[in-house]
Amino acid sequence: MTQNVLEVEALTSGYGDLTVIRDVSLAVAPAQITAVLGRNGAGKTTTLKTIAGLLPARSGRILFQGADITKGPAYERRHLGFGYVQENKRIFKRRKVEENLELGLYRLGLSRTEERERVDEVYTRFPILAERRKQVAGYLSGGQQQMLAIGQALLSRPTLLMLDEPSTGLAPSIVAEVMHTVRTLRDEQGLAVLLIEQAVDTALGVADTVVVLDVGRAVHTAPVGEPGLRRIIEDAYMAATADPART
């Protein structure tokens, strides 16, 4: 049986005295896209930040290619094979496109030739970035900024790519282009992808497996083709709750 790239077991985390997610479990297999769905406040971003090491796990385990990395610092996860694209297109908007990519190579320990090869790989995948390599990143369109953020994450040639709400603020046609890129990375490079999304149709169009979060708990996990899955998702999105722990 093929080993999962990522396994999260009964993960609990939060901010200060506030517990946001409780006993969340999920897995991402090689060359598969696992989408975590849920409305605002369900705990999606908190889950991703804890997996990335930006928030400490209060309990549970995070396994990467079979190794327990729960207590490891965030910076080590990049070297292990994590690529992380945070929400809201976290790029250096006052820097040029090429400077953003050069900064993305920081501390990878590559030769100058290897660095050039990595940057050229990004330009090959996103030709518009090659055309605008000398442009200040803040003047790119929203979709181009998202491509740049993904390109930065790909510079380390990750085994796992984690995307937090990549469709936010983008026109439908641009969302389709970004999701096409995600599918291509899975299909052509065998990349494992953990996709955090609120847009149901966007996620279902690319995912292999769906995890539904509600009020900080994983309420359902299923392959995309499971009968009745959409109804379960709709119920999670529409349910009313006054739980103050939502974030």
> Above 60 in pLDDT, residue 91?
yes
Report the distance separating Cα 31 and Cα 193, nearest Å: 8
pLDDT of residue 66: 95
Domains belonging to the chain, first-starting first, are 1-81+158-247 (3.40.50.300), 87-157 (no CATH)
* Secondary structure class of 71 (helix, strand, coil): coil
CB 128 within 8 A of CB 136: no
> Tens of pLDDT along 95-131?
999 999 999 898 888 899 999 999 999 999 999 999 9
Instruction: Please state, rounded to an integer, the average pLDDT across all residues of the chain.
Output: 92
Phi and psi torsions of 28, nearest 5°:
-130, 120
Strand runs labelled E in the chain:
6-15, 18-28, 33-37, 59-64, 67-68, 82-85, 160-164, 192-197, 209-214, 217-223
| Angle formed at CA 105 by CA 104 and CA 107, multiple of 5 degrees | 115
CA–CA distance, 66 with 56 (Å, rounded to integer): 19
